[in-house]
């Protein structure tokens, strides 16, 4: 049994992850900036719900302290909270939208990792799982700011995976493609139309659960692409030459003319 804190857990991938983990017998902290947690009652005392604003360090510290007191500690933090806006960077975006996206998606993950570190270091099973995205495999047009924020999450994961290994803390990230959550309600880009929004929250949650609970340590596994499309993109980006990766990415995600 692990004691697992999840941010952004009121709905979507966070909720699906919480429900799977609770059904497995873990104690789960389902926290969000707002939302209805009435569904958690079905899991009895295995789900502890509460409030966290991931953009505020003091909110992180209060939420983690609350969960740790009620659960007896924290073994795993899942940084799940995230937002996006879609459309051309100049036409659809703004200074405010860029700031809001990076505040939640980047600062929220940084603050969560920093606030959780003392708890994870004390646990013999300490683990940090960050929700990145397939948009961090190759830069995604019409989601440029979101894509950039998820590259930051990927970079942080890879860095802390090495830094915190000496502390006995494993750091991993999950990279899903487009998933059927409220975050993509009303979103239509060339990428979503060509690749489809195929993943259910439960599909991504299954990969998050694997990243959070799989205790096999050899070989070290850091990246967990979710879904066959993300797995292909991840493998292709690592083994194809950059010009080919760029060309394939353009064919999948944009109707703009591109040069080889």
Which pLDDT score is estimated for 19?
98
Which pLDDT score is estimated for 223?
92
Local confidence band at 249 (pLDDT 50, 70, 90 cut-offs): low
| Interatomic CA distance for residues 243 and 181, integer angstroms | 32
CA torsion, points 106, 236, 253, 80, in degrees to nearest 10?
-30
Looking at domain 3-235, what is its CATH homologous superfamily?
A: NAD(P)-binding Rossmann-like Domain (3.40.50.720)
Residue 159 C-alpha from the chain's centroid: 16
- Above 70 in pLDDT, residue 250? no
CB 31 within 8 A of CB 49: yes
- Above 80 in pLDDT, residue 4? yes
For residue 185, give every residue at least 6 positions away whose Cβ sits within 8 Å of its Cβ, in sequence order, or none. none
Give pLDDT tens digits for 133-155.
999 998 888 999 999 999 999 99
Question: Annotated catalytic residue: which of 31, 85, 119, 146?
Answer: 146
Local confidence band at 260 (pLDDT 50, 70, 90 cut-offs): low
Q: Which residues pair with 29 in a beta bridge?
A: 5, 48
| Interatomic CA distance for residues 5 and 159, integer angstroms | 21
- Above 90 in pLDDT, residue 110? yes
Give 105 or 233, the one with higher predicted confidence.
105
Cα–Cα nearest to 205, from 12, 24, 7, 40: 12
Q: What angle separates helix 108-122 from helix 57-71, to the nearest 10 degrees?
A: 30
CB 156 within 8 A of CB 166: no
Which pLDDT score is estimated for 219?
72
Which pLDDT score is estimated for 220?
79
Give pLDDT tens digits for 5-59.
999 999 999 999 999 999 999 999 999 999 899 999 999 999 999 999 999 999 9
- Above 70 in pLDDT, residue 64? yes
CB 234 within 8 A of CB 175: yes
Q: Is 119 a catalytic residue?
A: no
Query: What is the residue whose two structure tokens read 């683990």?
Result: 127
Q: What is the mean pLDDT of the chain?
A: 90
Which pLDDT score is estimated for 41?
94
Strands 27-32 and 127-131: unpaired
CB 109 within 8 A of CB 51: no
């Amino acid at each position: 049994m692990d004691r697992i804190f999840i941010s952004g857990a009121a709905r979507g991938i966070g909720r699906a992850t919480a429900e799977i983990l609770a059904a497995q017998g873990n104690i789960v902290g389902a926290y969000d900036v707002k939302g209805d947690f009435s569904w958690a009652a079905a899991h009895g005392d295995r789900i502890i719900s509460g409030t966290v604003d991931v953009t505020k360090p003091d909110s992180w510290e209060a939420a983690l302290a609350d969960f740790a007191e009620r659960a007896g500690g924290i073994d795993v933090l899942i940084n799940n909270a995230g937002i996006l806006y879609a459309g051309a960077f100049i036409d659809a975006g703004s200074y405010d939208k860029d700031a809001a996206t990076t505040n939640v998606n980047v600062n929220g993950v940084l603050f969560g990792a920093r606030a959780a570190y003392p708890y994870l270091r004390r646990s013999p099973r300490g683990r940090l799982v960050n929700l990145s995205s397939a948009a961090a495999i190759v830069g995604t047009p019409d989601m440029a700011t979101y894509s950039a924020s998820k590259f930051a999450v990927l970079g942080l994961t890879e860095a802390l995976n090495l830094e915190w290994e000496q502390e006995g803390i494993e750091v991993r990230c999950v990279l899903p493609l487009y998933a059927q959550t409220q975050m993509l309600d009303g979103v239509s880009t060339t990428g979503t139309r060509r690749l489809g929004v195929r993943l259910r929250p439960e599909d991504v949650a299954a990969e998050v659960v694997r990243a959070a609970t799989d205790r096999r340590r050899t070989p070290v596994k850091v990246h967990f692409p979710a879904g066959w499309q993300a797995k292909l993109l991840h493998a292709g980006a690592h083994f194809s030459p950059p010009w080919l990766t760029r060309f394939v990415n353009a064919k999948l995600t944009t109707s703009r003319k591109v040069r080889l």
